[in-house]
Amino acid sequence: MKMRYIVFFVFLAMLLTACNRGSQDVASLLAGGRWFDLTWDFDENTVYWPTNETFRHDTVSYGINASGYFYSSFRYSAEEHGGTHFDAPLHFAHGGRSIEQITAEELTGEGVVIDVSDPATRDRDYLIGIQDFMNWEKKYGPIPEQAIVLLFTGFGAYWKDHLKYTGTQKSGKEGVDELHFPGLGPEAAKWLVNERHIKAVGIDTPSIDFGQSKDFLTHRFLCGSNITAYENIAHLEHLPAKGAYIVAAPMKIRGGSGSPLRLFAWVKQ
């Protein structure tokens, strides 16, 4: 067994032991690292697919009520796929699993970050390919089995500029036709699943397929292979190429094909 696996499983064993002993031991263990929040805020500016309804957050009550104490409550509405969000297999696979059927084990695990920011920022329609993963492996070794693979294109830097982030400011079909951002090529997706047996894959763009995709082959293959995906990830520039522990927490929507996602990474310091 290679050393990185030994270190990884030792950490998990330490965490489980600490949990059994109590919260102080857990705090002591986690003090040796740092948590990163990889989630964009949901608000009126959140990026959604051009044909989707955007996020709404309305006030039901806010202020001192008739009984004399402060009370607030809000109403929100949103489509499943927008902002930092989670794709369940049902999204592109008939009969695929919906969100409540995804296990906790599938939502946590060792993360690797593949940096393709150089070619992706030079070519908005860049397709991440097998060679990008081979280049990563030359530096860091094989992508671990059951890893959560996070694709860093650098497009997170454009999040507050809708035009730079997606390639368009238009809505509807016209907006879809003008989408330009990098994505994972279908053949590279097959390689990750068939050759490296990954657990999940995520990207810091609006879709795991590139913006100009018309057939969504990457989505269709991943969902058909029971692989989950994360889109619109934030702050991937803070993570190391390897060594992060990922925790994905999608809203548990029965029958859902996707949902808003709170995504975290723990990095040892």
* Band (269; pLDDT cuts 50, 70, 90): confident
- Report residue 89 as tokens: 């297999």
What percent of the chain is modeled with pLDDT above 70?
89
DSSP 262: E
Place of tokens 């995504």: 263
**Do both 1 and 44 map to the same domain?**
no
**Do both 172 and 250 map to the same domain?**
yes
**Do both 204 and 215 map to the same domain?**
yes
Contact 143, 167 (CB under 8 A): no
Judge whether 60 lies within some domain. no
The strand pair at 242-250 and 108-115 is best described as antiparallel
**Do both 13 and 110 map to the same domain?**
no
The pLDDT of residue 32 is 82
| DSSP 3-state of 265 | strand
**Do both 24 and 76 map to the same domain?**
no
**Do both 120 and 171 map to the same domain?**
yes
Distance CA(222)–CA(191), nearest Å, equals 11
Q: Read off the pLDDT of each residue in 10-19 and give the average, rounded to a whole number.
A: 48
pLDDT digits (tens, 9 = 90+) for 61-120: 999 999 999 999 999 999 999 999 999 999 999 999 999 999 999 999 999 999 999 999
CATH number at residue 116: 3.50.30.50
Q: What is the count of structural domains for the chain?
A: 2
pLDDT above 80: residue 216: yes
Least confident of 17-21, 148-152, 183-187: 17-21
**Do both 221 and 176 map to the same domain?**
yes
* Band (18; pLDDT cuts 50, 70, 90): very low
Domain span at 11:
1-31
**Do both 10 and 44 map to the same domain?**
no
pLDDT digits (tens, 9 = 90+) for 24-74: 555 555 678 999 999 999 999 999 999 999 999 999 999 999 999 999 999
Residues 168-207: b if buried by 16+ CB within 10 A, e if exposed: beeeeeebbebbebbbbbbebbbbbbeebebbbbbbbbbb
Judge whether 62 lies within some domain. no
**Do both 76 and 135 map to the same domain?**
yes
The pLDDT of residue 30 is 65
Judge whether 118 lies within some domain. yes
